[in-house]
């Protein structure tokens, strides 16, 4: 039997109204373009004309030849990097593959998280009957590790900084749910009260750090908007 929460999730899958507004560039040079992806905008085009508008399309319209390096979930905001040369794209992609890229996220989660920091080491796999949802599965899941640190508390919610050591789809959302603390505004994984507690998914890619071709480590930051 379907409930209101089921209806909301079904609506999320088919309704797409990307936010308007100018492209927000955090950093640019002849090698890189670092931008702030707004919540509600796809990273890459989806299937169908109604899902054509995305960050990649907008970036390429403003900066022809820009090359996608990685993605964020539609409802996650924050730092995304594009390469402006194929050699730079390969260089950064290799660091992603070797897990050398360092990322931090900010999230507001439901409830009072016990403790001040910890690590979640639980394997994740796509939940095929309910895709695009993912789930914890010790038999078929891929290794997935997230370190977390509490940075603030208020009544009924906790703000955490998240340090993913792996990059599985929906990793942070599934791992926080596994602790019993879904991310606020998460139309896929939050229960009704946590979903209603925020007007958007409270998950933001705060920093991204990697080494350039000269071997110098660079970090790019984007302040949390919520």
Active-site option among 73, 75, 108, 186: 73
Three-state SS at 121:
strand
Residue 198 phi/psi, 5-degree rounding, is -150, 150
CA pair distance 122, 138, nearest whole angstrom: 7
Alpha carbons within 13 angstroms on the beta-carbon side of residue 55 total 30
Q: How far apart are CA 195 and CA 206, in angstroms?
A: 22
Give the span between the Cα atoms of 40 and 19, in whole angstroms.
6
Q: How is the chain split among helix, strand and coil, in percent rounded to 5?
A: 20, 30, 45
Compute the distance between CA of residue 81 and CA of residue 70 in angstroms, rounded to an integer: 7
Q: Any catalytic annotation for residue 73?
A: yes
Residue 122 in tokens: 């639980």
Give catalytic residues, as residue numbers: 73
């Amino acid at each position: 039997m379907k409930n209101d929460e089921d209806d909301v999730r079904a609506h999320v899958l088919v309704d797409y109204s990307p936010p308007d507004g100018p492209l927000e560039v955090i950093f640019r040079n002849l090698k890189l373009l670092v931008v702030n992806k707004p919540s509600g905008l796809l990273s890459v085009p989806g299937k169908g004309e109604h899902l054509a508008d995305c960050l990649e399309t907008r970036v390429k319209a403003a900066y022809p030849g820009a090359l996608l390096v990685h993605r964020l979930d539609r409802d996650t905001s924050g730092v995304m990097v594009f390469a402006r040369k194929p050699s730079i794209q390969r260089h950064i992609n290799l660091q992603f593959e070797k897990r050398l890229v360092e990322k931090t996220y900010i999230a507001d989660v439901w409830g009072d998280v016990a403790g001040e920091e910890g690590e979640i080491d639980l394997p994740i796999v796509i939940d095929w009957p309910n895709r695009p949802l993912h789930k914890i599965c010790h038999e078929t899941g891929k290794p997935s590790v997230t370190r977390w640190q509490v940075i603030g508390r208020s009544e009924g919610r906790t703000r955490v900084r998240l340090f993913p050591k792996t990059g599985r789809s929906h990793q942070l959302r599934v791992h926080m749910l596994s602790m019993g603390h879904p991310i606020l505004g998460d139309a896929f994984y939050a229960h009704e009260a946590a979903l209603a507690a925020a007007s958007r998914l409270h998950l933001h890619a705060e920093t991204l750090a990697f080494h350039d071709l000269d071997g110098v480590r660079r970090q790019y930051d984007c302040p949390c908007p919520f």
